Amino acid sequence: MPLKPSDAILSAKGVSKRFKGLRALNDVSLEVQRSSITALIGPNGAGKTTLFNILSGFIRPDHGSVTFEGLSLDRLPPHRRARIGLVRTFQIPRVFGRLTVLENMLLADPNQPGERFFGCFYLRGAMRRREREERDEAMELLSLLNIDRLANDYAGTLSGGQRKLVELGRVLMIRPTMIMLDEPMAGVNPALGLRLLERVEYLRRERGLTFLFVEHDMEVVMRVSDRVVVLDEGTLIADGSARAIRTNERVIDAYLGRSKNSAAVVRR
Amino acid sequence: MADFSLFVLATAGIYTIFSLGLLVQFGIAGLPNFGNGAFMAVSGYAMAIGIVKLGLPMIIAAPLAMVAAVLFGLLLAIPTIRLRSDYLAIATVAAGEIVRYLALNLEGLTGGAAGTVNLLGPGQAADYNFEWLRLQNWMQDGISHLFHVRAKPDLAFCCIIWPVALILLAIVDAMVRSPWGRVLRAIREDQEAATALGKDVFRCKLQAFSLGAALAGLAGLFLAWQVSTFTPDDFKPTITFYAFVIVILGGKTNVWAVPIGSLLFTIIFSGTRFLGFWPLSLFSSGDKAFLRLILVGLALVVLVIFRPQGIFGNPREDAVET
């Protein structure tokens, strides 16, 4: 679908990052359009996760700047970025093991007055009301992700795929405007993965959420993304529609090596 | 025997308040504070100095002393609390020892190694405790009249400290169960993930640390009141280790296990006088003082092996791999 170039929800300009001489990112600029699903792909070590960490504020870039909803993020610590609606998940899911699944979900509530110091005393009524409402919301999300029966289990007892789902549910509890997913499909069984993708498309369609996701499964990338951004050795080498990327020689070279067989995989 | 039980009960009250602070910091928020004894010292000394040197009434000096403990906590926490927990542990041990050595060496301020009795310099016994003893005597007389018994000072002390301790336990329990406590537990599990969910990890840690500092400060006041004079060596790092034993003994996250852990610990620790039977009768009383440390250590080792979640801990929670 055609998107107005002016309607970028997130934009990064000239982002560079070195780790002790290793150039992780080199002058990367990209824009993510509002309500789009953008895939970030590239071979291992291309700098995808570094870019995620910079966008979410977990590491500072050496150069370059990031804006979100027209607001400069450069001085905004990571928790504040989540608060303004830019959230992320991790490649290896990070659940709070000794909290139940439901607690993991409720924790993400951005607006629980009971989280203030001594708030459970002087904001008791508001705290309880909010907790009730959020519990319903959380249970609804959990049943949608098909893990509602695990609500009262400690998250640390869950399988890797289940943890991915908890992570996704958790970021949805923040009511974000943009979600960055680091390999959301890795380790999730295909049937469930399909539901996950459907949910992503639904959230984009119905609520106008924006997604930026790292994924290695090309079939998934081609299926859901409006746009694909390709990183290789810290440099952005291609940026375009899934169709255009599929036939981009530079991408085929960099991403899959020069072998004709692997090129065929992409074209398939 | 009855006197001894009351002494144990009174001491357990102090340990309860002290360990409750550590439970918030370590058990809930995952902040291993090995300098907790220093917070007792800061507040005990602040009160004694306030009363003796500045002539403040106890009712003002005591809360100010707790404020001093919290301020010291913030001073220590602001630069160190971002550290990984093992480094934080080292930093807090060091801070605790710095406080003790300062108290030993700043003789003009603290009375030095001789303790608070030396606060006004040699030849003039300083006393910060007269107002407390007035309160405690009033309590003692009240109990004696009411129940037609001859109440001992330790009983009066218990009748003051335990209601305070129980109220604090209830307050902390409510906080730990609230969304505030949930955020702290999440930070304990994975602070980066908590950050990614929009939680201000630094601020929450400071809050937990300050609450623990305030509780340790209050415990320091009761310790000072119980003994009437104290020296820097009353706040050796071992006192913090005892609190760790108590918290681990009870089950790291269970608020109501703290008083029970404190009682058990104090009984084991103070109960060496009952170890007069053979073969323990072969030891001199001085050796028995070390024996009790060995006993406490042994109890802890056995507990950690056979019941790692503590006496009242949740085995389900402990089985979780993270």
Residue A159 tokens, joined: 């399988």
CA distance to partner chain A, nearest, from residue B188 (Å):
9
User: Hey, what long-range contacts does A131-134 have (CB within 8 A, 24 or more apart)?
Assistant: A131/A106, A131/B179, A134/A105, A134/A106, A134/A109, A134/A173
So where are chain B's domains?
Answer: 2-126+146-234
Task: Show residues of chain A in contact with B198, CB under 8 Å.
Answer: 79-80, 82-83, 87, 108, 110, 174
Task: Show residues of chain A in contact with B252, CB under 8 Å.
Answer: none
Tell which B residues from 259 to 318 touch A, by Cβ distance under 8 Å.
316-317
Taking the mean position of all CA atoms in its chain, how far away is CA B4?
Answer: 21
Interface probe with B: pick from A58, A96, A127, most Cβ of B within 10 Å? A96
d(CA A53, CA A64): 14
Inter-chain residue contact B197 with A170, CB threshold 8 Å: yes
Closest by Cα among B191, B60, B152, B195 to A57: B195
Q: Which residues fall within 8 angstroms of residue B195, CB to CB, at 6 or more apart?
A: A58, A77, A78, A79, A82, B201
8 Å CB contact between B240 and B96: yes
- Put simply, whether A100 touches B (Cβ < 8 Å) is no
The predicted model scores a pTM of: 0.90
Interface probe with A: pick from B28, B168, B176, B178, most Cβ of A within 10 Å? B178
d(CA B151, CA B129): 20
Inter-chain residue contact B190 with A80, CB threshold 8 Å: no
8 Å CB contact between A193 and A201: no
Mean pLDDT score, B72-95: 92
Task: Show residues of chain A in contact with B195, CB under 8 Å.
Answer: 58, 77-79, 82
Q: Among B175, B200, B320, whose Cβ lies nearest the Cβ of A79?
A: B200
Residue-level pLDDT at A49 = 92
Q: Count CA atoms closer than 13 A to A24's CA, side-chain side.
A: 18
- Mean pLDDT is lowest, of A3-17, B12-26, B94-108, for A3-17
User: Would you report the helix, strand and coil content of chain B in percent, each value rounded to 5?
Assistant: 80, 0, 20
What DSSP string runs through B187-241? HHH-HHHHHHTT--HHHHHHHHHHHHHHHHHHHHHHHHHHHSS--GGGG-HHHHH
- Put simply, whether B201 touches A (Cβ < 8 Å) is yes
In this structure, the strands spanning A235-240 and A227-232 are antiparallel
pLDDT digits (tens, 9 = 90+) for B258-267: 999 999 888 8
pLDDT band at A268 (very low <50, low <70, confident <90, very high): very low
d(CA A176, CA A181): 12
Residue B131 tokens, joined: 């107002």
So where are chain A's domains?
Answer: 8-95+175-267, 99-157
Sign of CA dihedral A116, A118, A122, A123: positive
Inter-chain residue contact A58 with B192, CB threshold 8 Å: yes
Residues counted in chain B: 322
- Put simply, whether B172 touches A (Cβ < 8 Å) is no
Q: Among B189, B196, B321, whose Cβ lies nearest the Cβ of A78?
A: B196
- Put simply, whether A76 touches B (Cβ < 8 Å) is no
- Put simply, whether A95 touches B (Cβ < 8 Å) is yes
pLDDT digits (tens, 9 = 90+) for B185-198: 999 999 999 999 99
Residue B18 tokens, joined: 């002290």
The amino acid at B18: F
Percentage of chain A modeled with pLDDT above 70: 93
CA distance to partner chain A, nearest, from residue B296 (Å):
28
What DSSP string runs through A189-239? -HHHHHHHHHHHHHHHHHH--EEEEE---HHHHHHH-SEEEEEETTEEEEE
| H or E element in which residue B306 lies | helix B285-306
Strand partners of residue A182? A214
Residue-level pLDDT at A40 = 94
- Put simply, whether A55 touches B (Cβ < 8 Å) is no
- Put simply, whether A49 touches B (Cβ < 8 Å) is no
pLDDT digits (tens, 9 = 90+) for A238-259: 898 888 888 888 888 876 654 4
Residue A265 tokens, joined: 């995989």
- Put simply, whether B321 touches A (Cβ < 8 Å) is yes
Closest by Cα among A217, A207, A206, A212 to A239: A212
For tokens 């081609």, what's the residue? A222
pLDDT band at B283 (very low <50, low <70, confident <90, very high): confident
Residue-level pLDDT at B272 = 65
- Put simply, whether A160 touches B (Cβ < 8 Å) is no
Which SS3 state, helix, strand or coil, does residue A14 take?
strand
CA angle at residue A207 from A204 to A213, to 5 degrees?
30
8 Å CB contact between B45 and B116: yes
Mean pLDDT score, B233-257: 89
pLDDT band at B303 (very low <50, low <70, confident <90, very high): confident
d(CA B211, CA A172): 32
Look at residue B273 and tell me whether its pLDDT is greater than 70: no
Residue-level pLDDT at A6 = 59
Provide φ and ψ at A146, rounded to 5°.
70, 30
Q: How is domain A8-95+175-267 classified at the architecture level of CATH?
A: 3-Layer(aba) Sandwich (3.40)
pLDDT digits (tens, 9 = 90+) for A70-109: 999 999 999 999 999 999 999 899 999 999 999 999 999 9
Inter-chain residue contact A127 with B193, CB threshold 8 Å: no
Look at residue B183 and tell me whether its pLDDT is greater than 80: yes
Provide φ and ψ at B210, rounded to 5°.
-65, -40
pLDDT band at B322 (very low <50, low <70, confident <90, very high): low
Look at residue A214 and tell me whether its pLDDT is greater than 50: yes
| H or E element in which residue A18 lies | strand A8-19
d(CA B276, CA B279): 8
- Chain B, nearest residue to A116 by Cα: B180
Mean pLDDT score, A130-146: 93
- Put simply, whether B195 touches A (Cβ < 8 Å) is yes
Dmax of chain A from CA atoms? 68
d(CA A104, CA A98): 9
Taking the mean position of all CA atoms in its chain, how far away is CA B122?
Answer: 30
